[in-house]
Amino acid sequence: MRFEYAPAPESRDVVDIKPSYGLFINGDFVDGSGTAFKTINPASEEMLAEVAAADEADVDRAVTAARKAFESWAALPGRERAKYLFRIARIIQERARELAVLESLDNGKPIRESRDVDLPLVAAHFFYYAGWADKLGHAGFGADPRPLGVAGQVIPWNFPLLMLAWKIAPALACGNTVVLKPAETTPLTALAFAEICVQAGLPPGVVNILTGAGATGAALVNHPGVDKVAFTGSTEVGRLIARSVAGTGKKVTLELGGKAANIVFDDAALDQAVEGIVNGIFFNQGHVCCAGSRLLVQESIAEELLDALKRRLGTLRLGDPLDKNTDIGAINSAEQLARIRSLTESGELEGAERWTASCPLPDKGFWFPPTLFTGVAQSHRIAREEIFGPVLSVLTFRTPAEAVEKANNTPYGLSAGVWTEKGSRILWMADKLRAGVVWANTFNRFDPASPFGGYKESGHGREGGRHGLEAYLDV
Amino acid sequence: MSETGRLAVRKTYKLFVGGAFPRSESGRSYVVSSSKGDFLANAARASRKDARDAVVAARKAFPGWSGATPYNRGQILYRVAEMMEGRRAQFVAEVVDADGVSARKAGELVDAAVDRLVWYAGWSDKIGAIQGAANPVAGPYFNLSTAEPTGVVAVVAPPFGPLLGLVSVVAPVIVTGNTCVVVASERAPLPSITLAEVLATSDLPGGVVNILTGHTGELAPWLAGHMDVNGIDLTGCDPDLARTCEQEAAENLKRVLRPAKTDWLADPGLDRMTTFLETKTVWHPVGI
């Protein structure tokens, strides 16, 4: 049975996008010295705004501003820093609808997700770390742990404002000042956040936002005035950063790629598992580093599960990200769409069997329908490389030991999922899986109180929880 | 010849890999002299192949050692301390030879090394309580973070403090369940091999600690770039070598402990353990 849905678009009127944006340095919006670039709506390819690009001189100005602000920000009593962060959290809640729409416009993600997942988590993250600012002496890092100084932070385009929150909230709570570079394709919510800093009365220079591409990020990471580098993005760039900070004494945390196994045993609650698989790989168009991109299903139920999964995928609605009924939004950029296409083509060439949900794709914008591959071998590129799109590779196993062996057969180690009704098996699996987050009978859950981060080539350091403080303290 | 006219039976100093004492596959050795310049021994000069063999041994030992109960690991580390105490006179003599300190000072250093092992032994079943957490998430979920060992860790031991320094860098790596490949002090490697004899008789499974003697500058970069090594402690590297090794380590994003000025007699803190621990967070829904 197919249900027809009338369009239910969220209003764009709540956002006021300016024709052009500058850099946010020392509390002011200033012109950038690099060549300005355009940010577009990936669902329509319409231009949203022109954004300044920061060059090395701009980076230097921002780092200098952050350095100057550091002295007094670090000297501020923790309870005062806390209050600034609480203010920011409140303003985010007040402007949540506007920010959600802006995020969906710039990123392409469904409004249902930006409204119900991204924004609530953004506010929660600031609330959580606000509360730590005057309790650092109780966090287990000594009586009076000190901040590091200036944090240079580079974030990706998949959760633009949420990744900003993950970076800025703990950094400020611990007494650091920051220079943050949002992703080239999704700068708008970070620039809105700069306005929020102004509204909150945050002292100038405590937060600086530099827009630009990879060169801006490299200049920031390599600036000698930066004491701490925090990066979320690809393992490839993470490697370059780890190499470039060698011997400098800069503290580094890296949240990188993943190729998570989502493991379904024959006794799992099937309908719940199907929902979990869908949430695991089709949430945010699969633009999720911890996405459950490898489905490992026990052989005896593979057929039944795949039938149910395909049936469910047939009901997903792809289209206008601002439509409240939309499940699958737009791919963030033409470049990412090309990468997804190239990897799915390799899946076919290497002999895996492709199945794609039949759904009409809009004429304009960047789209990729929910797709799964069966008959995938562990050596296939689609089983080893991060696709970062709505593409699921399905493998089978017979025994728990085989499931563990296959799940761990990857250089990544960010997350994993386990579906079974047997408690002791969950704990055994959780123990054996080499991954920083294990979701049992659930998937893609996030909370500011819960540490997140990877094993192996998925990076080092944790974000969230008490553990997340360590990245921003001189300990 | 000694005063009694009896010729001493000298020891051949070899490597310690997978619980055995092989010579270097390269057949190479190098002269180790005392701080006064007297000949002490020809130590094995490990090669790249020896380093790779040691990583294989450490990887093989990892599932068993990381899967042992913390109580068991603590008991074994305490056993190592017991065995060291029994060889106190031998270690004192070696430290005197290596560092040219007085016998009394050497005694203090050996005692501190034994005490350090006892200290770390006690951490085996406590570090998890300090590093883990039950996280109060905003939803109906059980959410627990636990500390797990990183895997195979390469350890570049400090050039000075050939026993206390060595014990202080190895114990924190293995007490949490990691296995390791140690590059011993190049100038004073002999106490490390005597320590290996202690380890070999302390119920420590073969391969948990592997010790290579040789040229630090030759061995450390191979280990830093090895794709099956998960972490590296650069304590014994000079700044140039540390930079090179950290660059190599980026290839598979190893956890890196950078060299820092260290007072080996001071309270070590938790850093040496926590650098080579991963935090795993498990979620499960709560419901009926």
Tens digits of per-residue pLDDT, B242-284?
Answer: 999 999 999 999 999 999 999 999 999 999 999 999 999 999 9
Chain A contact for B129 (CB, 8 A cutoff): no
Among the options A103, A255, A386, A457, which is catalytic? A255
Given B133, B239, B250, which is nearest A239 (Cβ)? B250
The C-alpha angle with vertex A443 and arms to A440 and A449, in degrees rounded to 5, equals 85
Report the C-alpha dihedral over residues A389, A393, A399, A402, rounded to 10 degrees.
-80
Whether A465 sits inside 8 A of B282 (CB atoms) is: no
Q: Give the 3-state secondary structure of chain B.
A: CCCCCCCCCCCCCCCEECCECCCCCCCCEEEEECCCCCEEEEEECCCHHHHHHHHHHHHHHHHHHHHCCHHHHHHHHHHHHHHHHHCHHHHHHHHHHHHCCCHHHHHHHHHHHHHHHHHHHHHCCCHHHHHCEECCCCCCEEEEEEEEECCEEEEECCCCCCCHHHHHHHHHHHHCCCEEEEECCCCCCHHHHHHHHHHHCCCCCCCCEEEECCCHHHHHHHHHHCCCCCEEECCCCCHHHHHHHHHHHHHHCCEEECCCCCCCCCCCCCHHHHCCEEEEEEEEECCC
- Position B2 confidence tier, pLDDT thresholds 50, 70, 90: low
Q: Give the 3-state secondary structure of A18-86.
A: CCEECEEECCEEECCCCCCEEEECCCCCCEEEEECCCCHHHHHHHHHHHHHHHHHHHHCCHHHHHHHHH
The β-bridge relationship of strands B152-156 and B231-233 is parallel
pLDDT of residue A297: 98
Give how many domains chain B has, as a whole number: 1
Whether B284 sits inside 8 A of A441 (CB atoms) is: yes
- Per the structure block, which two tokens stand in for A155? 């974030």
On whether the CB atoms of residues B193 and B263 are closer than 8 A, the answer is no
On whether the CB atoms of residues A122 and A163 are closer than 8 A, the answer is no
Contact list in A for residue B241 (CB cut-off 8 A) is none
Q: Mutate which of B253, B272, B278 to test chain A, going by most A C-beta atoms within 10 A? A: B253
Q: Which residues share a beta bridge with B284?
A: B142
**What is A261-440's CATH number?**
3.40.309.10
Mean pLDDT value of segment A55-72: 98
Q: What is the Cα–Cα distance from A176 to A180, expressed in whole angstroms?
A: 12
Whether B284 sits inside 8 A of A462 (CB atoms) is: no
- Between the alpha carbon of residue A271 and those of residues A308, A312, A419, A441, the distances in Å are 8, 10, 11, 11
Chain B contact for A456 (CB, 8 A cutoff): yes
Assess if residue B20 is contained within a domain.
no
The C-alpha angle with vertex B280 and arms to A152 and B182, in degrees rounded to 5, equals 80
For A403, residues 6+ apart whose C-beta sits below 8 A from its C-beta are A261, A263, A265, A296, A298, A397, A429
**A231-281, pLDDT tens digit by residue?**
999 999 999 999 999 999 999 999 999 999 999 999 999 999 999 999 999
Chain B contact for A401 (CB, 8 A cutoff): no
Residues comprising chain A, all counted: 475
**B63-107, pLDDT tens digit by residue?**
999 999 999 999 999 999 999 999 999 999 999 999 999 999 999
Q: Give the 3-state secondary structure of A342-367.
A: HHHHHHHHCCCEEEECCCCCCCCCCC
pLDDT of residue A440: 98
Whether B145 sits inside 8 A of A450 (CB atoms) is: yes
Whether A140 sits inside 8 A of B141 (CB atoms) is: no
Q: Which residues share a beta bridge with B155?
A: B182, B233
**DSSP character at residue A439:** E
Contact list in B for residue A421 (CB cut-off 8 A) is none
pLDDT higher than 80, residue A404: yes
> Is A255 among the residues known to form the active site?
yes
Give start-end residues of each CATH 3.40.605.10 domain in chain A: 12-256+459-472
Report the C-alpha dihedral over residues A373, A375, A381, A383, rounded to 10 degrees.
80
Q: What is the Cα–Cα distance from B280 to A436, expressed in whole angstroms?
A: 4
Given B253, B271, B278, which is nearest A254 (Cβ)? B253
Chain B contact for A265 (CB, 8 A cutoff): no
Given A238, A435, A456, which is nearest B230 (Cβ)? A456
**B97-154, pLDDT tens digit by residue?**
999 999 999 999 999 999 999 999 999 999 999 999 999 999 999 999 999 999 999 9
For residue B76, give the amino acid letter. I
Assess if residue B205 is contained within a domain.
yes
Q: How many other C-beta atoms lie within 10 A of the C-beta of residue B261? A: 4
Whether B247 sits inside 8 A of A235 (CB atoms) is: no
Q: What is the Cα–Cα distance from A165 to A190, expressed in whole angstroms?
A: 10
Among candidate residues A165, A217, A163, A233, the one with its CA nearest the CA of residue A388: A233
Assess if residue B173 is contained within a domain.
yes
Closest approach of A438 to chain B, Cα-based (Å): 5
Assess if residue B2 is contained within a domain.
no
Assess if residue B217 is contained within a domain.
yes
Chain A contact for B136 (CB, 8 A cutoff): yes
Chain B contact for A243 (CB, 8 A cutoff): yes
Structural domain including B79 reads 42-285
Chain B contact for A246 (CB, 8 A cutoff): yes
For A439, residues 6+ apart whose C-beta sits below 8 A from its C-beta are A276, A415, A416, A417, A418, A445, B282, B283
Closest approach of B130 to chain A, Cα-based (Å): 8
Contact list in A for residue B243 (CB cut-off 8 A) is 246-247
- CATH number for the domain spanning B64: value is 3.40.605.10
Assess if residue B6 is contained within a domain.
no
Chain A contact for B285 (CB, 8 A cutoff): yes
Residue of A nearest to B272 (CA): A475
- Superfamily, domain A12-256+459-472: Aldehyde Dehydrogenase; Chain A, domain 1 (3.40.605.10)
pLDDT higher than 60, residue B1: no
Residues comprising chain B, all counted: 288
Q: What is the Cα–Cα distance from B196 to A47, expressed in whole angstroms?
A: 67
What interface predicted TM-score (ipTM) does this complex get? Answer: 0.96
**A280-334, pLDDT tens digit by residue?**
999 999 999 999 999 999 999 999 999 999 999 999 999 999 999 999 999 999 9
**B184-228, pLDDT tens digit by residue?**
999 999 999 999 999 999 999 999 999 999 999 999 999 999 999
Give start-end residues of each CATH 3.40.309.10 domain in chain A: 261-440
On whether the CB atoms of residues A342 and A54 are closer than 8 A, the answer is no
Chain A contact for B138 (CB, 8 A cutoff): yes
Q: What is the Cα–Cα distance from A319 to A299, expressed in whole angstroms?
A: 34
> Is A289 among the residues known to form the active site?
yes
The whole-angstrom distance between residue A194's C-alpha and the CA centroid of its chain comes to: 19
Q: What is the Cα–Cα distance from A465 to B145, expressed in whole angstroms?
A: 10
Contact list in A for residue B261 (CB cut-off 8 A) is none
pLDDT of residue A1: 57
